[in-house]
Structure 1
Amino acid sequence: MRKSQLSDFLQKHITYEKGMRKGKPSPLNKKNIKYGHPLKLQNTYSEKELLIQEEIESYYQKPGFSHLFKHEKISFFVSEPSCGVSHRHPYIELMYIYAGHCTQELNGNRIEFHKGDLCLLDTSVLQQCLMASKDSIIVNCALWRPLFDHHFFGRFNVEDPLAHFFKNAYYNLQSSEQFIVFRSSDDRIKWFIENALCEYFDKTYYTEENVQYYLLLLLAELSLRYERSSHWGVTDSNTENQFLKVIRHVQKNYRHITLEEAARHFNYSPSYLGRRIKSASGMAFHQLVQNERLAEAIHLLERTDMSVDEIVNAVGYSNMTYFYKIFREAYGMSPRCYRQEKGI
């Protein structure tokens, strides 16, 4: 999709959303078909609505939204916000005001957003839309946990404040409930967002990588703007810096690392380091290592033709049965089924 087509596409997306919000079944969803061709169903669709919904759903490659976010690391969706109930999301959210303006209540803070503004929210933030202009278009980007599973923190400087933001949100620290508001002063943020959107809705073999690259460039830009942003609930301490260093060490050495080796590296006792990790992240040391190994296994399943046996050895496991067990617990299927479902 070309950027020149994006505004028109997003406007059509809003029309699509309005139809879905009215409770109309998707005309392209085969589960709703009783008689005849799906486009001839006796619902109160206008010809324009049918054409728009057909176009929008063709970009998702599947009718309806039931499978939209399956196995995705980054998901975009577009909305015309309406006043609703307070809610939280199970993902880290990047909210961008593409057009218009709105007022949101975030953890009890009433905040006005205007065209070009951007907000990062972690999973703990209680949010509610209080008001939105008629021309508002809000681009929401869901950053799912698998995005952070694959060596994400290694791409950030330990001192980077955004690294602390994602670390707090990613490990569900009790002190988080954080969000950051960036007021846009030029078109660079819009450029990154628009390119990521065009890649996301124009599916190619390299879509996932390209979207991630644009998002990483965007986050680098936001890091430079951090001191000029407004932030709530973000903590910064030497203890957290040290914890980030531990996480990065685990990510670099996940194949063979042990708690004892990590403790020696940071000059701690194993019991102390284990307690600190558990206290900060809610996970035991072996769970951190397991997450990294599974994330690398997913990467190899998706991006290589290595056999499952080769992948198991490559990520540091020697017991095939145990690997299958934890993989199924994490993803609800076997590695081979995962590969088949991804069409690899």
Structure 2
Amino acid sequence: MKKIYENISIDRNTQMNLFKFKATDIDRIIPMHFHNEIELIYCVKGQLKIWHEGKNSIMSKGDLLFINSGMPHLSQSTSKNEVIVIHLPETLFIQEKLYIKLDTVNEDIPERIKKQITNIMTSLYELHCSYGEFSFLKEQSLVLDLEYILVTQLACQLKNEKEFYSNQQKKIKEIIHIVKEHYRDNISLKEVASLCGYSPAYLSRMFHQHVGQSFVEFKQILSLEKAIELMETTDKTFEQISMETGFSNEKSFRKVFKQVIGKTPREYKSSKKTTEIK
């Protein structure tokens, strides 16, 4: 079953999916995933770490990032933050063979364009929350304005589809899918390489190049996400959780949890109980 961050629902009236994310729990990570819809992220305040196209980027206040259709990405809140996210249908961009280059963490864009985009995204969110009877008409207008800026100011014309959807990119998606299906069985790099017809060394290099994480790191994040879900929704012991989420034993689970989350599993669970009481 797809997670909510992979199963995007575009509103028919506004032709977008829009939400504001306010991270108060900086322990959580959205694992590597991809979807057909394009994604535009605006960091209003705080910081957000993004693994995208083989790069690790820290978005700060005012930063914008565009994620093209089908591109694997992962995010983690490194501080309390406020982020506006908009998803748009891929149709226009795929039909016109357009690739949008927008990543203000690593590349500068004219301040005028940056201001136009951030103003539209802020206005869209405010309008989206107003629940006016015909506010969707204005939302449609702003979405079209946003798309016009993207395609006229920030788009690159692709010569052919292979330039965008390379064979390696498609293979990475397949690999991600395999790991997501089998990480709880503690599937190894060697086993995945065998399934995909690669040597372990080649798969390891290719995975890190396209995903920005090692194979082991990616698998650990998936395991931790499931472990945290079980910790918050069940009374299972840490030993049971470690065995159900792909860790070799409880000691390994505790070690990885501390390295990534910054707390032991027991400390994490205690902090959640304290928050609930408040």
TM-score by length of 2: 0.47
TM-score by length of 1: 0.40
The structure with the largest strand share of the pair is 2
Larger RCO, structure (CA 8 Å, separation 6 or more): 2
Larger radius of gyration: 1
